[in-house]
Amino acid sequence: MFATIFSAALQGIDAVPVQVEVNTGESGDLRLILVGLPDAAVKESNDRVFSALANSGLRPPRSRTTINLAPGDIRKEGPCYDLPIALGMLVATGQLSADSIGDYLIAGELGLSGSTRPVRGALAMGLLARRLGKRGVLLPPVSAEEAALVEGVPVYRIRTLDEAVRYLSGQLALKPLPPAPPAPAAAAEGAPDFAEIKGQMAVRRAVEIAVAGNHNLLLVGPPGSGKSMIAKRIPTIMPEPHLDEFLEMLSIHSAAGHTLNGELRTFARPFRAPHHTISDVGLIGGGTIPGPGEISLAHHGVLFLDELPEFKRSALEVLRQPLEDNQVSISRSAGKVTLPANFMLVAAMNPCPCGYLGDPKRECRCSPVQIQRYRARVSGPLLDRIDLHVEAPSLSVAELRTDRLGESSAAIRARVQAARTVQQARFAGTRTHSNARMTPAQIRRHCAHNTMLGDLLEQAMHQLSLSARAYDRILKVSRTIADLAGSEHIEAPHLLEAIQYRTLDRTQLV
């Protein structure tokens, strides 16, 4: 007999339909043939499925059986086809009615006992089922919770193979999971807060501007000046994401194999801080079947690169295109995928190899050649794409001893949210959501300036040897500073402050 079960395969962070075709009763010796470009994990499903069937009191096929995962030109990856293969075998052997399968989308890994385990990309599968008008989705419990965030399609939680069979045969009634929107992020006791940052008022100001306009930020300072401590608190002052943004973030993490745990249940924005030994593929994404890397996992959040010059040059250079386009295209033999990568880059570095250049307390022992070689690891084109460069000086003993708390994250976040609200109204009806993402036409329209400001900017361009890209980024930062000040137009103080954040540009760092 012949049976067809609907399932799905991941391409990047999106799901595409897959038909699991099972044909049994063929002449010849008992043999299981699996075709349709399966990887090793899919091929191993034979043993898992046969054990799950036996331990669930069900009969496996007793004749030659062919399983086809169609379409055959899409590579199939992972154990998510265990459950649809098992159900297809039951339909093909007459143990389950073909009518009972209906028009469900089914996926799930099987244990040897017949229990189900989570699969990657559950949210994408829910979106696919809704787009195709499927009757419902059958998924393992944890994966079903993710798919249930998609409105308009029933999602059923399947704990075991036996439970799936009894539900499909009408012996068990299951209710679809109700949509469970994530809860707003709440500040837990002991959570990071900007109130814990002592001193560093100039850095705090630069961070507020960067977050208000979603600008990229570079912190330069000696060890112990608080660069990493400040960076880790940036998500606490970022605006709460919209539901659409959250679903995008969750779909990326789900495709990477991260389940809906306690952290992802809230509207918290991601904070990714990869080690400087990370590979190019780990940072940008890829693999035999292209998947998301750190820049995509930081989508709508923060990508923090500590010790920036210690990263491989090739890994840093692959960031240039995503920083401009907010997405990354990866081509492999298995296909080409485009992954979202709209993140805020925050980088930190020392001013020299020993870290104490310009420190009034410690003597720098680096030679000029060593300093030049160290700083040259950050290329000019990459530095051009970082909007704000700010120095983080070492703290004095008096600043460290003070018990007075700084301004809290909540207070800073309120000002950031007000500035973002202005930007949302400004860019309503367009694909732009923040000042940092303005197009050239939007820059001309929203960053208009008079002759005096133009002369100031021209003078800065000549003195600092800035590029045309830096010119645009100064105007974008000026627009954000004006938004924080509640000003409709860019004034001289706004432009001058934006210019000072480019003083660490190529003439100093390369």
Which of 409, 436, 463 represents a domain boundary (last residue)? 436
Contacts of 456 (CB under 8 A, 6+ apart): 492, 495, 496, 499
Cα 280 from Cα 150, distance rounded (Å): 33
pLDDT score for 187: 52
Whether residues 333 and 407 share a domain: the answer is yes
Nearest CA to 60 out of 43, 45, 72 is that of 45
Which of 436, 468, 483 represents a domain boundary (last residue)? 436
Spans of the chain below 70 pLDDT: 28, 180-190, 259-267, 333-335, 503-510
CA dihedral 364, 365, 369, 375 (to 10 degrees): -40
Whether residues 281 and 360 share a domain: the answer is yes
Whether residues 155 and 216 share a domain: the answer is no
CATH of the domain at 404: 3.40.50.300
pLDDT score for 264: 52
Residue 130 lies in a domain: yes
Residue 396 lies in a domain: yes
Cα 86 from Cα 352, distance rounded (Å): 61
* Two tokens, residue 16: 């595409």
- Indicate the helix (H) or strand (E) that contains 372: helix 368-375
The SS3 assignment for 294 reads helix
Whether residues 353 and 417 share a domain: the answer is yes
Q: What is residue 288's DSSP assignment?
A: T
Name the domain count of the chain: 2
pLDDT score for 262: 46
Residue 185 lies in a domain: no
Q: How far is CA 122 from the centre of its chain?
A: 16
Residue 492 lies in a domain: no
Residue 442 lies in a domain: no
Whether residues 253 and 287 share a domain: the answer is yes
Nearest CA to 83 out of 55, 54, 99, 105 is that of 105
Whether residues 221 and 351 share a domain: the answer is yes
pLDDT score for 215: 96
The SS3 assignment for 391 reads strand
Whether residues 235 and 311 share a domain: the answer is yes
Note whether 405 and 232 are within 8 A (CB): no
Ranges of H-type helices in 264-367? 280-284, 294-297, 313-317, 320-325
Which of 128, 150, 168 represents a domain boundary (last residue)? 168
CATH of the domain at 16: 3.30.230.10
- Please report, as a single letter, which amino acid is at residue 457: L
pLDDT score for 505: 60
Residue 9: which domain range? 2-168
Residue 70 lies in a domain: yes
Contacts of 193 (CB under 8 A, 6+ apart): 187, 233, 236, 408, 409
Whether residues 249 and 101 share a domain: the answer is no
Residue 55 lies in a domain: yes
Residue 76 lies in a domain: yes
pLDDT score for 277: 94
Cα 281 from Cα 315, distance rounded (Å): 8
Note whether 280 and 320 are within 8 A (CB): no
pLDDT score for 82: 96
Whether residues 163 and 199 share a domain: the answer is no
**Cα four-point dihedral sign 107, 108, 114, 115:** negative
pLDDT score for 346: 97
Whether residues 156 and 231 share a domain: the answer is no
Whether residues 150 and 246 share a domain: the answer is no
Cα 158 from Cα 184, distance rounded (Å): 28
pLDDT score for 509: 45
Whether residues 158 and 32 share a domain: the answer is yes
Nearest CA to 115 out of 142, 92, 135 is that of 142
Note whether 22 and 82 are within 8 A (CB): no
